[in-house]
């Protein structure tokens, strides 16, 4: 019997990092442990995320995890012809094949594949922490997000858009809300939920936005520029603003993005506009290129890490030229 126990321990040592008295007993008695299935764990994870939407998570986060689940299910069918799989069968080969599937069959770009793999890794982490999986399949696996040049509007683009009078009220309205975000750095979700009572007098006696970011629930304090104040006053008597206490009458993100493409064409702006470009424009053209320190920009954007701000804010050649002009005065030609 002692030899059988030692044999059972040796067999467990080949497959598990952590051996418990219960797992040794079950191996000795030839009792198979209940299989934990990947998709079942993934669904349970997403169910908990869904229950916390509006409390700890944004709706967009839940949607992204649901999309990741769908990709994982499709991969299992594509590679293994299975609807689910024992988590113990997830290894390095499984992960690399999953990445290949995302890039080839789903035609995902590098950063999209990175995000889906990251979501999948979180579920694997739950399995590891719970002791259901004893070897991390992501050991020696690397995938890095690529830095991309983000589109933003320059001062000429902003002026073109501001000066244009459109033939329909819907385009004028979308343009105004987009420009408001260019001058405040608010994301779509944040301007959508922005209330009049969040426009308050700041420590300097001027009007500020005091709100929390929908995505991270971090405070965002933004002094209002005159252009932003003018846009707010323009919609004071709008029915949506009056009835709901909203700062601006914001439509759905899908409609706003569709109208922005139309606006870009009318204004002669050769850039594919989306609502999020307003946030990049605030970080780059409105603030950083005009000498606002990146730490201040980061605080106004509601970022918890300045590295995140660096992804949004790109030092313009014009700003470099201004900074070097001061240096040229200090070091004239020898």
Q: What is the pTM of this model?
A: 0.70
**Domain spans of the chain, in order of start:** 1-33, 38-129, 155-324
Question: At the topology level of CATH, where does 155-324 sit?
Answer: hpI Integrase; Chain A (1.10.443)
Cβ atoms of 202 and 225 within 8 Å: the answer is no
Say if 38-129 and 155-324 have the same CATH topology. Answer: no
Domain 38-129: which topology? Answer: DNA polymerase; domain 1 (1.10.150)
| Residue 310, pLDDT score | 77
The residue ranges of DSSP E strands in the chain, in sequence order, are 199-201, 207-212, 219-223
pLDDT at 315: 60
SS3 assignment, position 122: helix
**Per-position b or e across 54-72, b if 16+ CB within 10 A of its CB:** eeebbeebbebbbebbebb
Distance (Å, whole) CA 209 – CA 300: 10
pLDDT at 314: 63
Low-confidence residues in the chain, pLDDT < 70: 15-18, 31-34, 147-149, 312-319, 333-334
pLDDT given for residue 31 in this prediction = 65
Between the CA of residue 266 and those of 51, 65, 173, what are the distances in Å?
43, 37, 15
């Amino acid at each position: 019997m002692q030899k059988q126990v030692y044999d059972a321990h040796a067999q467990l040592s080949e497959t598990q990092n952590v051996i418990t008295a219960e797992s040794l007993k079950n191996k000795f008695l030839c009792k198979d442990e209940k299989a934990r299935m990947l998709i079942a764990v993934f669904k349970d994870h997403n169910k908990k995320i869904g229950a916390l939407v509006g409390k700890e998570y944004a709706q967009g986060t839940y949607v992204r995890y649901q999309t990741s689940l769908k990709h994982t299910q499709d991969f299992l069918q594509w590679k293994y012809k299975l609807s689910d799989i024992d988590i113990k069968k997830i290894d390095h080969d499984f992960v690399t094949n999953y990445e290949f599937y995302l890039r080839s069959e789903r035609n995902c770009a590098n950063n999209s594949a990175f995000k889906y793999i990251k979501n999948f890794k979180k579920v694997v982490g739950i399995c590891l922490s719970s002791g259901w999986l004893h070897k991390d399949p992501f050991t020696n696996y690397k995938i890095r997000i690529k830095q991309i040049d983000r589109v933003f509007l320059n001062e000429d683009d902003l002026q073109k858009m501001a000066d244009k009078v459109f033939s329909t009220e819907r385009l004028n309205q979308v343009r105004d809300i987009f420009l408001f975000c260019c001058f405040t750095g608010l994301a779509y979700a944040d301007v959508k939920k922005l209330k009049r009572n969040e426009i308050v007098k700041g420590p300097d006696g001027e009007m500020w936005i005091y709100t929390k970011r929908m995505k991270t629930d971090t405070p965002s304090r933004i002094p209002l520029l005159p252009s932003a104040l003018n846009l707010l006053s323009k919609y004071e008597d709008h029915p949506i603003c009056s009835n709901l206490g909203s700062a601006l009458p914001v439509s759905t993100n899908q409609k706003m993005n569709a109208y922005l493409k139309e606006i870009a064409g009318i204004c002669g702006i050769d850039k594919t506009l989306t609502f999020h470009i307003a946030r990049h424009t605030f970080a780059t053209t409105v603030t950083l290129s005009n000498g606002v320190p990146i730490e201040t920009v980061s605080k106004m954007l509601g970022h918890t890490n300045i590295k995140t701000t660096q992804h949004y804010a790109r030092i313009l050649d014009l700003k470099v030229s201004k900074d070097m002009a001061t240096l040229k005065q200090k070091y004239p030609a020898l």
